[in-house]
Structure 1
């Protein structure tokens, strides 16, 4: 399953074999001599500030990018930067259920869902979970992480000053242990994290969600959350400063956007699949993550710019977006 990447690459986080930014989709490289089987599918791409994790449907995880603190799973000091995707094995474990990443750390949920392995820097409280908890979902912002449990409860740790772990924890600034977030009000099924806020999702058919954090609401996240979510929304995702609701009918407000097959939200940009051969991007694109054409400020603003795919690329089956990084997954 060919994977292409473009955007910021100063630490090798695109996994294309070098550390130069690129503005056109470039094929990713894997170090492993036995890469995932063609039948395997990429189920999640999680991006930190300068590193990337890829989760395949068979549970294998591959990482690339900055590794000076071991966030890519390799020994720091030996490989401070990884420029090709390398399989992550932690304490002999090589199959995982889910992954997420803060700016400087990686989180991997074990296959049985009862442990979370932490790699990288924990200076923002990004430490592990105690055993005995069954995790069905994990999400991370720049400095905080939340997990959704099988029973619908939500727990988190890390940066808390803006209320991203609930109002009760704002005074702690940083939470160094796993704490339950009490302000949800429904059975949680998933979560998404912005830079300083958390979106907890309940029953998508009912449009259940709540936004925690973004205390000063500088970007209007809390004001927007007062608008009821569309009933039957397909997904809710978050950038650093925004929340994106992908409706079941494929539309993404505003209506001019038309029908969207797939949506990927990065730190300050968005990718969308319009059809099996068309990917568009908009937002902050200074590093080439929205393609080669931007305005004088490095933005793709007011329009959605089409991304030119390599001639050898077949149908698009998935997309991903991170911190000024973009990915396109194509059929074998």
Structure 2
């Protein structure tokens, strides 16, 4: 059995801890699931993705649950309500991604579905569709999809060695696809310098995209950096305005540090896993979960080194140190997630 603990922004019940608790949380609270009263769930979570005010949790058995603001259908079901607990999205799913008010879902047949609201092409359904419940995106359905990722207003889908994307590209975050500010339908992307390169991974920031090849990083869009760092063998991740390289249990960060977003360089905790949210991060080390960055909504826990009203965590703050084994950590838009295994 597993238990999913969360803290942080919760004004729309995106933590899934009950409608009566729709306020920000600065300590971990168990998420609740429809049909379960114990606060535990049988299947292991595989991935946690978060929009501005909604959350989706994908499980290893293909189940997908969501909670939070569903005003535009971004939670994947039809009720126009704010869900206080996690409810099951019908179907069997392979992957999911969330933007600000929309979600992208891949089912077991490699069909791509979109839902929610997008005024800047986020739904990929053309200029006339800005809100929808679950709708198939036929332009990319049926391809051999490797992964999908979204940020605020843009989405990239990897199909073998091809990248397809849609949404806002006013800063160049979707490459060189003509002099346009929005891609309203899925488009095969062209990135200068990526020709004949094998794609290892990619990640999205608020107005930029980072593409990782075997030998280099490529940056597209708006991200203030003096230069791109070397990457061989590193795991690359992004916040809204920074990038982070994880290798040999150490993390090196580059970009915006206005609220401690860059990994504290004077901390020597040997990280085993890293997860990055909008402007904060989590690491797992020796079954302890630490957090750092912008903790405005309680997502970094309770301050231990600064006044309680200071939202900058420029040090590693302990978020979880319990006896149960941590099997997954996740982050969202000012939310933090810790999945533990219950004996």
TM-score range, shorter chain: 0.7 to 0.9
Q: CA RMSD in A?
A: 2.1
TM-score, normalised via structure 2 length:
0.84
Q: How does 1:144-293 map to 2 (within 5 A)?
A: 144-150=154-160, 152-169=161-178, 171-183=179-191, 184-185=194-195, 186-203=197-214, 206=215, 208-214=216-222, 217=223, 219-220=224-225, 223-225=226-228, 227-229=229-231, 231-233=232-234, 235-247=235-247, 249-253=248-252, 254=265, 256-276=267-287, 278-293=288-303
Corresponding residue number in structure 2 for 1:119: 115
- 2:134 matched to 1:136? no
Report the Cα distance in structure 1 between the residues aligned to 2:106 and 2:307, rounded to whole angstroms.
40
1:51 aligns with 2:54: yes
Q: How does 1:71-150 map to 2 (within 5 A)?
A: 71-77=74-80, 80-89=81-90, 94-113=91-110, 115-127=111-123, 128-130=137-139, 131-150=141-160
Cα offset, 1:296, TM superposition: 6.5
Deviation at 1:255, TM superposition (A): 6.9
Q: Which residue does 2:262 correspond to in 1?
A: none
Q: List per-residue Cα deviations over 1:118-161 (Å, max 9, x = no partner).
A: 011132212235133211001111000000112x1111000000
Distance 1:298 1:66, change over 3 A: farther
Per the TM alignment, residue 245 of structure 1 is displaced from its structure 2 partner at its CA by: 1.1
The normalised TM-score by structure 1 is 0.86
Which residue, 66, 79, 87 being the options, matches 1:63? Answer: 66
- Return the alpha-carbon distance in structure 2 between the equivalents of residues 298 and 65 of structure 1: 27
Structure 2 unaligned spans of 5+: 124-136, 253-264
Q: Are 1:8 and 1:21, in contact at CA under 8 Å, matched by a contact in 2?
A: yes
* CA separation of 1:238 and 1:99: change in aligned 2, threshold 3 A: same
Kindly indicate whether the alpha-carbon contact (under 8 Å) linking 1:63 and 1:85 is maintained by their aligned counterparts in 2: yes
Q: Measure how far apart 1:97 and its partner are.
A: 1.0
Distance in structure 2 (CA, Å) of the matches to 1:105 and 1:300? 29
* Counterpart Cα distance in 1 of 2:74 and 2:60: 21
Alpha-carbon distance in structure 2 between the residues aligned to 1:272 and 1:280: 5
* Paired residues of 2:50 and 2:98 also in contact (CA < 8 A): yes
Deviation at 1:82? 0.6
Structure 1 runs (4+) greater than 6 angstroms displaced: 34-37
Q: Which has the higher strand share?
A: 2
Instruction: Name structure 1 gaps, 5 residues minimum.
Output: none
